[in-house]
Structure 1
Amino acid sequence: MQALVCQPAAAPALFSAEGMVGVVFLLTVALVVTGALIAVNAQRLVRAVAGLAICFTGLAGVYYFLLSPFLAMMQMLIYVGAVSILIAFGIMMATPEEQQTADMQHSSILAGPLAFSVGAFIFAALTVLGLKTQWQVFPRQGSFDIKAVGMSLLTTHSLVFELISIVLLLAIIGALVLAQRGRN
């Protein structure tokens, strides 16, 4: 008996269906990275929340590409729809502070280069790990209709359902703390 050896096919053309899926996936990942950079580097809190919402939206797209449309929908509803909006409402309820951002001093000159080098090291390590790993495709098991997922969330996986409610509760508390701190 001969062993079945699968040889990788040639790379798909850019204007084929597979090539366009790859381009759209890369655009989705770029949306995640762009939103994260906006959230981290924004000078104003409102822009940081907008970057966070962009990052969460891109992450929902990544979940969709991972063949999990229900998880993508929950990402949009919970994080983009609830958490980001709650933080934005907390910012709007707070009174603006009169401090100038130019007066802020960084604690160390080495903080930026050190953070960049640690991030670059982690990125390189994960890239090497991703390229060296032999990825296996697992067949789907069971039906993934919305009714079955809902019943599973309320019976078997009720802890996950409760953790979602705790995330929303923490977002509400965080928005209230932001609003209260801005009013003092």
Structure 2
Amino acid sequence: MTSFLTDGLIHAAFWVVVGLTFGGAVLAVFPRNIVYNVLGLIVCLSGVAGLFLYLGSFFLALMQLLIYVGAICVAIVFAIMLSPPLHLEAPKRRIPKLVLSAGAAGLFFAAIAAVSWKTAWKPAAQRGTDWSITTIGHFLLTKYSLVFEVISLVLLVAIIGAILTTGFSRRLSS
């Protein structure tokens, strides 16, 4: 009797998380207000984290919440706050600026393609390294901890810069 009740609660929780995920996805796509779209994205990504929990991958669930909900969605909210209102006329695009940006993008793509082409790609099984989530987490917290900390600092600087820019733009507009 108790296993039937436990299984029923587990299945009910699963369907609640699936409902949150799909409801958030619908809210992220259909409303015309961009703030509602971001809130829907937050709900949807939180639901995906719940699905990772259901599958027993606690690390992926926490990374989903930390990276996507915590960093990406906050960055999107800051971008919305810092963008000019839609009723203002956008400045005309200048041809030299377009050509320069297209050239820079093409150069960057060529460099990435050249590096990818010259790299000897080997499957993980041939290297003899186990690339499970546990191993990746261990590497991030031991051997590659500096990279992990630098990424954290870059995100912190981006958030502080967005806050300062918002403060400066509000002072200028008043």
With the shorter chain as reference, the TM-score category is: 0.5 to 0.7
Q: Whole-Å Cα distance in 2 between the matches of residues 19 and 149 of structure 1?
A: 34
- Once the 2 structures are TM-superposed, how far is the Cα of residue 97 of structure 1 from its aligned partner? 1.3
Picking from 81, 90, 95, the partner of 2:79 is 90
* Deviations 1:23-74, CA, capped at 9 Å, x for gaps: 0001001100000000010101111011000000000000001100111000
Paired position in structure 2 for 1:53: 42
* Deviations 1:101-121, CA, capped at 9 Å, x for gaps: xxxxxxxxxxxxxxxxxxxxx
Bigger share in helix = 2
Q: Whole-Å Cα distance in 2 between the matches of residues 95 and 83 of structure 1?
A: 20
Q: Whole-Å Cα distance in 1 between the matches of residues 14 and 136 of structure 2?
A: 25
Picking from 114, 133, 139, the partner of 1:152 is 139
1:15-30 → structure 2 map (5 Å cutoff) = 16-30=5-19
Q: Whole-Å Cα distance in 1 between the matches of residues 38 and 133 of structure 2?
A: 33
| Residue 23 (structure 2) pairs with residue 34 (structure 1) | yes
Where relative contact order (Cα < 8 A, 6+ residues apart) is larger, the structure is 1
What amino acid maps onto 2:86 in structure 1? E
- Once the 2 structures are TM-superposed, how far is the Cα of residue 95 of structure 1 from its aligned partner? 2.2
* Deviations 1:74-117, CA, capped at 9 Å, x for gaps: 00000000000000011011122128xxxxxxxxxxxxxxxxxx
Structure 2 gap ranges (5+)? 89-129, 167-174
Q: Extract structure 1 runs of 4+ deviating beyond 3 A.
A: 152-156
Matched residue SS, 2:87: coil
**TM-score, length-scaled by structure 1:** 0.50
What amino acid maps onto 2:16 in structure 1? L
Picking from 44, 49, 53, the partner of 1:64 is 53
Same amino acid, percent of matched pairs: 37
